[in-house]
Amino acid sequence: MIVSNSIIQVEHLSAAYQKNTVLTDINFEVKAGTLTSIVGPNGAGKSTLIKTMLALHPTLTGKVSFFGKSFEKAKKQIGYVPQRGSVDWDFPTNALDVVTMGLYGKIGFFRIPMKKDKQKAFEALEKMGMSAYANRQISQLSGGQQQRVFLARALVQEADLYFMDEPLAGVDASTEKAIMAILEELKKQGKTVMVVHHDLQTVPEYFDHVLFLNHTVYAHGTVEETFTDSNIIKTYGGNMSWLREGDKNVVHTTS
Amino acid sequence: MTFTAWIIVTAALVGLSCGLMGVFLILRKQAMMADAISHTVLLGIVVAYMVSQQITGMSMLIGGILAGLLTAFLVQSLHSMKVRHDASLGIVFTTLFAIGVILISTSVGNVHLDVQHALMGEITFIPFTTTYVPGLGDIPKATLLLMVVLLIVVFFIIVFYKEWKITSFDPVLAASLGLPVLLLHYLFMTLVSITTVASFDAVGAILVVAMLITPAATAYLWTDRLMLMLILSGGFGVLSAFIGYGIAAWLDTSISGAMALTTGLIFIVSFLSSPTHGLLSRWVKPKQLI
Amino acid sequence: MWSILLHSNTIWVMLSTTILGIAAGVVGCLAYWKRQNLMSDALSHAALPGVVIAFLIIGEKNLLILVIGAAATSLVGALLIQWVTTSSRITEDTAMGIVLSVFYGFGVMLLSIANRSAGGNQSGLNNFIYGQAAAMVRSDVITMIVLAGFVIFLIAVIFKEWKLYLFDAGFAQGLGRSIKGMNTLYTIILVITIVIGIQAVGVILMAAMLIIPAVSSRYWTHSFKSMIWLSGIFGGMAGALGTWISATGSGLPTGPFIVIVSAGLFLIALLFGKEKGLIIHVLQFKSQQKQFTVRKKEVS
């Protein structure tokens, strides 16, 4: 069919929550080494898309392949950063330990993390500017710091493809910068990243590809070509007006 | 050893194994599963009795483990059909318990199985049925069983330590790393069931619940480190056994009841005074800052 | 078989378990939407020490006094759960487990003292704790009916406030309703229902009376009002049928049979329920799948 360097192929994917169909006939392909933001209004199914692709939510129809393989076979090459709120931050453990968890799949059963594993985890924390907090209990970290720990945990997985669910939601400016620097670095290493993103303003600055989602794909492509007013209006519906005020893009909701 | 010593040793063993399992139970937000399994184990024991027509440690253990797994399985299934977790738990354990009570009152008759006895436990009788173990001499059967169970629990906690940690903290990540999350869940529930059954005959269902939940919750108020939490929880369990026995002897009352009460007393003291997460820390800390 | 029904005491017992079932079903709906299904389990266990203390004080089995004792420690349990949950990192289910086992253990201690001191008098007490509806006398039944009726009345009379409170407590507060007041009322209603039910089904199975009918009714309707009606009906049916079955044999316990009937109604709801039942669910999934395949063919 299509011969390309696409590493993700999604064909006719759909998913539902009981009666409500959340995703309808999703089709897209993602090329290696790209940084894609998934944008769309609330309830558009952005998180569901990621979860369905990673087999964390049942598929109604369609199929997804990674590197030309099924998810099961490509699992080890994929890293997933869930929303920060998905875990209990009161869990009795420290930052370094959480990052080390990213290596548990590789370490395997019946073996404890070695010094070199801890070292690797520490380096990842260092990269996120969190080395000073390695022994800090996770309950005592700020929201931004927790997000950095999550990112560091994804880094140690050394995956080729990353999915991140709202990594920039509710974090401070310096954390946002640190995270984006890491994403740029991943891209330079030839890795592929898909990010659920809520802030339209920063799309052109942070990403090279954009996928407009509102139950189905409205547009998908490079930011230069695809990130247009008409696509934004199409995706966000008539209730939304999109104004360019000088350099700033502002979304006004009329509802 | 004297009877008193055996009773305390037995209760301390219960405190230790339950204390260790309890830590993961509450971190997995499954505290009430302890309540559920400790009740449905009754059904397992009744059915085991009906099948084998005798009450031996082995048939009881198998029956109880199967009942525990059945509970975990049914709760999981109902939950996957979108019944809320706590509601599934409430439906499953009350129904299985009801079946157990009906079986006792109809077919099994009035054997050793007395619902009241099973729930309250009578640890006093433990030293009467002993068995000979080379090297240790005559030791009560229930105590021996609990020793074996403690070894099993410790073994599995050590071997799968990092797996318990990751599946408790972030099961989604564990799944995406390719860990068999569901299998580990059932292994965990098997361990809880083994601990419960072994403790059940010795101390009764309610003390099992108390020992599974309260010492672990108490430890959670003192520390932010998993390893320390495990040690503290086991320690609080053993301490409750000792103090509880003292109270029971002093008031001449139910030993299991007194031990359960003691776990609660230790919790309340910690709740008020723990420097990290206790109530007092909230009033004291701000002053220190000023 | 019908002669059982003619036995006058059975009719009384059946009447009381039916009313109890209705009250528990209705209150169970409130607990369901408050997301506190297992609270009833914790509070019914927490009633034990209160019952025994009341018994130790008056030295005989008088339902009203025992119920007051039960309500007292149940309420203390409820307050402790709330206090521990709001002022520490302990989660609600853990707090419930603690209160449940520790209070019950304390009750067992007291019971062992009561059994020692009260001589032969305690058999009535054990019947009360482990549920033996057949042991109830007419005055017990009247006490139960009055209290259950009171609970149902309290729910019916401010029905829309309950709905608002359960659906969106924050909004209710914005409208000037007192959340603290509603919380207190909710706890009182829950405790009354639990303590009057203990006599009929026992401390352990009381939770089932509140949980199962409410969950079953959820499968048949999306409306809060019909859910309450249905839950009450399911609860009443379970109470009546369960009592009847247990009356057909001698020495059969009432509580477990009520629970079994209730569980049967739940299974039916789970399978055939109009709104969320399994069969409907599977059909919906299949039809959605079909819809997509058809659309896909049209496209290609």
Tokens of C15: 């009447």
Average pLDDT score, chain C: 85
| Residue predicted with more confidence, B63 or C168 | B63
Q: Which helix (H) or strand (E) holds A52?
A: helix A46-53
State whether B177 and A88 contact (CB < 8 Å).
no
Query: Is the per-residue pLDDT at C1 higher than 50?
Result: no
Q: Rounded mean pLDDT of chain B?
A: 86
According to DSSP, residue C135 is labeled G
- Which helix (H) or strand (E) segment is A12 a member of? strand A6-17
Q: Is B2 exposed, middle or buried (0-12, 13-18, 19+ CB in 10 A)?
A: exposed
Is residue B233's pLDDT more than 90? yes
Domain ranges across chain A: 6-87+159-253
Quick check: B178 and A105 CB within 8 A? yes
CB pairs under 8 A between A and B: 73
Q: Given a cut of 50, is residue A1 above it in pLDDT?
A: no
Residue B251 is assigned to a structural domain of this protein: no
Note the pLDDT of residue B202. Answer: 74
CB A210 within 8 A of CB A36: yes
Q: How far is B136 from chain C (nearest CA, A)?
A: 32
Q: Does an H or E element contain A124, and which?
A: helix A115-127
Band of pLDDT at residue B287, cut at 50, 70 and 90: very low
Res A3 pLDDT > 80: no
Q: Is the pLDDT of residue C234 over 90?
A: yes
**Residues in a beta bridge with A94:** A137
Residue B227 has a pLDDT of 93
Cα Rg of chain C, angstroms: 21
Is C288 close to A60, i.e. CB distance below 8 A? yes
Q: A15-29, A133-147, B23-37, C17-31: lowest mean pLDDT where?
A: A15-29
Which residues touch A223 (CB under 8 Å, ≥6 apart)? A203, A204, A207, A208, A209, A210
Query: For residue B152, what are the CA distances in angstroms to B158, B195, C168?
Result: 10, 9, 48
Query: How many folded domains does chain B comprise?
Result: 1
Q: Could you tell me which CATH number the domain at A6-87+159-253 has?
A: 3.40.50.300
Average pLDDT score over residue span C70-95 = 93
Q: What pLDDT does B290 receive?
A: 35
pLDDT in tens, C136-155: 777 888 888 899 999 999 99
How would residue C122 be classed by pLDDT, with cut points 50, 70 and 90? Answer: low
How far does C90 lie from chain B, in Å, by closest CA?
A: 7
- Report if residue B279 sits inside a domain: no
Element (H, E) at B132: strand B130-133
Report the pLDDT value the prediction gives residue C61, as an integer from 0 to 100.
73
pLDDT at res. B288: 43
Buried b (16+ CB within 10 A) or exposed e, C53-73: bbbbeeeebbbeebbebbbbb
Q: How far apart are CA B145 and CA B139, in angstroms?
A: 10
Q: What is the pLDDT of residues B239-280, one digit of tens each?
A: 999 999 999 999 988 888 999 999 999 999 999 988 777 777
Sort out which chain A residues have CB atoms less than 8 A from C275's CB and list them.
none
Task: Tell me how far apart the terminal alpha carbons of chain A are, to the nearest angstrom.
Answer: 43
d(CA A145, CA A84): 11
Chain C residue numbers with beta carbons less than 8 Å from the beta carbon of B264 are 98, 101-103, 105-106
**What is the complex's ipTM, to 2 decimals?**
0.89
Q: Which domains does chain C have, with CATH numbers?
A: 2-299 (1.10.3470.10)
Gap between the Cα atoms of C106 and C40, Å rounded: 18
How do residues A186-224 score in pLDDT, each as one tens digit?
A: 999 989 999 999 888 888 889 999 999 998 899 899 988
Model pLDDT for residues C33-73, shown as the tens digit of each residue: 888 889 999 999 999 999 999 988 887 777 788 889 999 99
Q: Distance from first CA to last CA of chain B, Å, rounded?
A: 56
Phi, psi of A21 (to 5 degrees): -80, 125
HSE-CB of C248 using CA atoms within 13 angstroms: 8
Distance from CA of C43 to the nearest CA of B (A): 13
Q: Confirm if C112 and B254 have CB atoms less than 8 A apart.
A: yes
Residue B230 CB neighbour total at 10 angstroms: 23
Question: Span B106-122, mean pLDDT?
Answer: 60
Whole-angstrom Cα distance, residue A147 to residue A176?
A: 10
SS3 B277: coil
User: Nearest CA of chain C to the CA of B38: how many Å?
Assistant: 11
Q: Which of A209, A166, A160, A142 is nearest to A44 (CA)?
A: A166
User: In this structure, is the dihedral angle defined by the CA atoms of residues B202, B203, B205 and B209, taken in order, positive or negative?
Assistant: negative
Separation between Cα atoms, residue A126 and residue A128, nearest integer Å: 5
pLDDT at residue B204 is higher than 70: yes
Q: What is the pLDDT of residue C123?
A: 60
Q: What is the pLDDT of residue C125?
A: 72
With respect to residue B262, please indicate whether it lies within any of the assigned structural domains: no
Mean pLDDT across the stretch C262-272? 93
* Record: contact A101-B169, CB cut-off 8 A: yes
pLDDT tens per residue, range B136-191: 777 888 888 899 999 999 999 999 999 999 999 988 888 888 888 899 999 999 99
Q: Which chain A residues contact residue C292 at CB under 8 A?
A: 12, 14, 24-25, 60-61
pLDDT band at C163 (very low <50, low <70, confident <90, very high): confident
Interacting residues of A106 by C-beta distance below 8 A, sequence separation 6+:
none
Neighbours of chain A (3+ CB pairs under 8 A): B, C
**Residue A242 pLDDT exceeds 60:** no
CATH of the domain at B49: 1.10.3470.10
Which pLDDT score, from 0 to 100, does residue A255 have?
37
For residues B141, B144, B146, B151, the Cα torsion angle rounded to the nearest 10 degrees is -160
Q: Which residues contact A18 (CB under 8 A, 6 or more apart)?
A: B82, C276, C281, C284
Rounded Cα distance, A185 and A163, in Å: 15
Quote the CA–CA distance of A194 and C144 in Å, as a whole number.
Answer: 62
Print the domain residue range for B114: 3-201
- Domain-located, residue B137: yes
User: Maximum CA pair distance of chain A?
Assistant: 59
Which pLDDT does position C100 carry in this prediction? 94
Give the rounded percent of residues in chain A with a pLDDT score beyond 90. Answer: 21
B208 pLDDT more than 70:
yes
Asked whether residue B226 is assigned to any structural domain, the reply reads no
- Strand-pair category, A240-245 with A217-222: unpaired
Neighbours of B271 (CB within 10 A): 22
Cβ–Cβ below 8 Å for B169 and A18: no
Residue A189 to residue A177: CA distance in whole angstroms? 19
Give contacts of C106 with chain B, Cβ < 8 Å. Answer: 257, 260-261, 264
